[in-house]
Amino acid sequence: MFWVCCSLLVRSAVILAGAEGARRSMRHSTAADRHRILIAAFSLLLLWPLLSAVLPELPISLPLRGTGDGIVTVQQTVTSFLQSDVAPHSSVSWALILWLCGVVLVLIPVALGYRRIGRIARRATLLEDEQWQTLLTEECSRLRLRQTPVLMICAGAATPFTFGVLRPRILLPADCQQWTPVRRRAVLLHELAHIQRHDLLWQLFANVATSLWWFQPLCWWNRSNLRRESERACDAMVVQAGILPSEYARELLAIAQTVPPDLCRSTVGLAMVQPGELESRLHAILRPPSMVLRKRSVVAITALIGVTVSASALSIFPEQSSLPGGYKVKRTLMSGLLASAGLSAVALGAPALSNNTTAMTATQAPHYNAAAKDPRAGDEQSSNEKIVRVGGNVAQANLVKKVQPIYPVSAKQAHIQGQVQLDVKISKEGVPYDLQVVSSPSDDLAQSAVEAVQQWRYRPTLLNGEPVAVSTVVNVNYTLSR
């Protein structure tokens, strides 16, 4: 699980850092181009789990320092005979629960923002001023907007504000009817530019992506940059419409002086002025890019796609037994995709590790369940079926096929050794069908032991002449030679 979390953070960071690097390298290009790069980064970030699941694995072994030989010994402990009911096995992934809690916590401010804007919209009134409506019609026609937004006026509005993904509305302060024609046109052009560029939809898209990747700090950073670039792109459209940069900068500064310093940032709407962003915007307005390098944005997005595909396919972690480190991520993501579709990861023939919530003492390592079922295991044991607890000597005598566990290279490199204790259930046909890790020094050693023991085969254990399912304990000792 540790390697899975590290891989998620590292690979997503590669995608987002690549987008940020491309954005900074295009500082002399237009804000619209930089905005496209950030949108592409969020899109690729959401597509990356699917790409990781379907692309073939390309493992790259890292050069490892000499760690000496590792010795693996296996024994089945002697236990008392016991006949008891088998409780239904339940598995809860605490990592999934933690992730879902984070998603909910991130989406709460978004939901509250929509609620707050809804209250403001209910208090607002339609702006029926003839001059405003004429200007709105002219600019919508010039920008070829399919849907004309609604102009609203509210006494509580401190700055012009655009909201509404499906039904765009522009909220104006109460004193907007006293504005000069230049300010009216500049404000309206800026807000209409947001609507033409679908910035509200892209901001919502970034909010959803950030909620899903809340544990990645670069995702929050890129979301803020996306908002900044959208404002600068709209500023550029205002200047391109014929308003002098000096006049627009003056009007923008005058509007900013009326905004309270404690103005809250909204995550669901686009305010014309945001605290802390005015200086950089004025600089961009007064010093526009000398040339438009649209081809560079296409090259940057193409390179970002290449980085995403590489991050999805390449495995750069040390190889553990015969399983590349990146394959853990691939298998985990594929299991999640299949689970969301109502399928079972067993169909892939790949064992999966997940947290087990059975009771354990404070000194025990976390439990894991490897419940991949072999096709030869027969029918799955029912929840009320009797399972016989057998001694290690009995189970050892019935063992007909034994696969020796492999000491993981990463564990040897980290000088990790110790004992992995497995509670193994064996079907009537002699196939291990449910393995639980009772204790283990590390996830790597636990996975190595589980993968080996799952391939063991036993003679059927007879009770009163009838084959029965049995349960035993297997200890796998990993020792580094000195």
Each residue's pLDDT tens digit, 48-86: 878 777 776 665 554 544 445 667 777 765 443 334 433
Q: Which of 12, 33, 10, 13 is nearest to 23 (CA)?
A: 33
Q: Which of 422, 432, 444, 359 is nearest to 399 (CA)?
A: 432
pLDDT value at residue 269:
67
Integer Cα distance of 408 and 429 in angstroms:
30
Q: How many angstroms separate the Cα of 28 from the Cα of each of 225, 233, 415?
A: 16, 13, 51
pLDDT value at residue 212:
93
Domain coordinates in residue numbering, the chain: 99-198+221-276, 348-480
Task: Tell me phi and psi for residue 71, to 5 degrees.
Answer: -110, 130
Integer Cα distance of 45 and 243 in angstroms:
38
**Cβ partners under 8 Å of residue 359, min gap 6:** none
Q: Which of 164, 160, 168 is nearest to 188 (CA)?
A: 160
Taking the CA atoms of 338, 343, 347 and 353 in sequence, report the sign of the dihedral they define: positive
pLDDT value at residue 413:
82
Q: Which fold has domain 348-480?
A: TolA/TonB C-terminal domain (3.30.2420)
Look-up of token digits 């073939």: 56
- Give pLDDT < 70 ranges for the chain: 1-4, 56-70, 76-93, 156-158, 259-269, 275, 289-294, 313-397, 482
Is residue 180 classed exposed, middle or buried when 0-12, 13-18 and 19+ CB atoms within 10 A define those classes? exposed
Provide the pairing of β-strand 169-172 with 150-153.
parallel
The structure's pTM equals 0.62
**H helix or E strand, kind and range, residue 424:** strand 418-426
